[in-house]
Structure 1
Amino acid sequence: MKGVAEMCRWLAYRGEPLHPSRLILDAQHSLVAQSLNSPLGAETVNGDGFGFGWYPTGAVAGSIPAVFHSIEPAWHDENLRELTRAVESPLFFSHVRAAAGPPIQQTNCHPFRYENWLFMHNGALAGFSETKRDLTFAIDPSLYPHVHGTTDSEVLFHLALTFGLHDDPVGAMTKAVQLVESVGHDHGVRFAMQGTIAVSDGSTLWAFRYSSEGRSRSLFHSADVPSIREMYPDAENLRNFGVSAQVVVSEPLVDLPGVFLEVPESTVVVLDDAGYRHEPFMASAV
């Protein structure tokens, strides 16, 4: 059974405030560049809309992030260029979409937002047309009115919210994925979950890499900036980033060895004030 896949690319940043354009537009293999040519992606071109979500500089804990969605290809949208060069943010998400089922409309563009939370996903819930009813009915009734689009990703987000994302993000994502796999099995879907996921409350960033089959979409995070500067002392562009800068991305933004580290299968990367750490995620399920 086929799912309604989202074969996409995404980027998340946490650290000192900077203009998002430095990563989304200006990097060697920026997210906009990946929207045109994605060597590691399931789809080479990701031109079915995009999204940008950011927490304003100086925002207090619990602040609601801003979001901008468009059905234009990211490489074609002047508003994205204007916006990402004008604002500064210490934590932002950006996502370029390759739709393979759900229609091209703004409500289907990532990142999704609920209160102070941002969420985005690359991958698919296999057999979603068969499992959609059961999964949607499992969403808390108070959250259901906030599901505005038709993607499996948005349902997954609201399942995680239902299972306590506010209090325990890793535990809530575990329960959401377990439900996806259980309902999938009930409908004859052997490998129900595929994807990489980013979620943030505006302070901490969690990035998950997991698939039921153990063959997940690609995901990388940057090494710590002091180590990168030691490896490449003459790299001028590194001066644009503070010592706490951290990037998680579907594909490396530069070709320099050692700058981006692959996230292992069945792993969640937690990025906070202490830096980054890896924790197992659904490891026993693979």
Structure 2
Amino acid sequence: MCRWAAYTGEPIFLEEIVCRPGHSLIHQSHGATEAKSAINADGFGLAWYGEREEPGLFRDILPAWSDPNLRSLTAQVKSHLFLAHVRASTGTATSRNNCHPFAVGAWAFMHNGQIGGYDSFRRDAEMLIPDHLYPHRKGATDSEALFLVALGEGLAEDPKGALERATAAMEALSRSKGAAPHVRMTVAFTDGRRLYAVRYATDDAAPTLYHRWSETRAGRAVVSEPLDAGQCWEPIPPGSFCTFDGTGVRVEPFVPRCRSRGAVRRRPAA
């Protein structure tokens, strides 16, 4: 499975999360310790916020450890909020369009996990994406589809409810046409102001997720696995929806209610 890290707080160089720590995201790309696969070599990506409302994006298909452009960029770019991801494909092609994070307008989104048997109901999942959002469907992953369905469910007005409804719709398809495990995921997404994260699974094997506030940086990292040994990383329990806003952390239950496809709420075109 993929590995990812997110940061929100006072601006820092991206390398402080992506490259410098002893178990940085680049280190995890070839030596993950809390993932099904230790190697995450199917591409990487960054989304960061600066002076504009929309995030900057940098994605490529090389293994993160082998791209000097990634190290150079992270050493020069500062941001108060960013997402970083290294990919281990669960079946779709290694291409830039399939690399996380995904972005639409001010929103950026990344995912680790799987929706069981996605290939067998991919067409059904695509039909859940509203027409006005379908032009943003660039790749073939379940992750991007989940993001676009959540946007259609009202992510901007109701982040938790929209992602619950989108996850429930995907879970229903997996249960009817796919395979177990139906959903295993951690997700991070943001509108450039608040950072949200989710840990959820339909079985007892939800991917790991941690967070830690740094007084030195005056910011918070949210990660698939700790970046440094010996530091106090707080695990996020399964079935959780987290909102990170400044120094505040709110953790709520994340409870998708699996429904039939016909019951999925469809929002009008913009």
Instruction: State the TM-score, normalized to the length of structure 2.
Output: 0.92
| Paired residues of 1:266 and 1:283 also in contact (CA < 8 A) | no
Gaps spanning 5+ residues in structure 1: where?
A: 1-6, 227-238
What's 1:42 paired with?
36
SS in 2 for 1:100: coil
CA shift in 2, pair 1:178/1:277, >3 Å: same
Q: In structure 2, what is the Cα distance between the partners aligned to 1:40 and 1:201?
A: 28
Deviation at 1:214, TM superposition (A): 3.1
* Superposed counterparts of 1:146-225, under 5 Å: 146-187=136-177, 189-222=179-212, 224-225=213-214
Q: 1:125 aligned to 105, 115, 119, which one?
A: 115
- C-alpha contact (below 8 Å) 2:23/2:228 kept by paired residues: yes
**1:70-95 C-alpha deviation (Å, 9 max, x unpaired):** 11111111111111111110000000
Q: Closer, same or farther in 2 for the Cα pair 1:284/1:178, shift >3 Å? A: closer
Q: Secondary structure at the match of 1:33?
A: helix
- 1:176 partner letter: A
Which of these residues, 28, 38, 55, is aligned with residue 65 of structure 1?
55
**Separation in 2 of the partners of 1:265 and 1:123?**
13
1:282 aligns with 2:255: yes
2:262 aligns with none
What secondary structure is seen at the aligned counterpart in 1 of 2:196? strand
Partner of 1:269: 242
Q: Partner letter of residue 208 of structure 2?
A: S
- Of the three residues 15, 20, 39, the one matched with 2:9 is 15
Q: Is the 8 A contact 1:269 1:276 kept in 2?
A: yes
SS of 1:99 mapped into structure 2 = coil
Give the distance between the partners of 2:178 and 2:22, measured in 1 at CA. 43
Whether 1:25 and 2:19 are equivalent positions in the alignment is: yes
Gaps of 5+ in 2: 259-270
SS in 2 for 1:279: strand
1:249 is aligned to 223
Matched residues in 2 for 1:21 and 1:142: separation?
A: 36
Identity within the alignment, %: 40
Number of residue equivalences? 258
Match of 1:51 in 2: 45
Q: What TM-score comes out, normalization by structure 1 length? A: 0.87
Stretches (4+) displaced over 2 A: 188-191
* Residues 15-56 of structure 1 deviation map (CA, whole Å, 9 limit, x = unaligned): 000101011000111000000100101110111110011001
Deviation at 1:276, TM superposition (A): 1.3
Partner of 1:85: 75
Q: Give SS of 2:82's match.
A: strand
Superposed displacement of residue 203, structure 1: 0.5
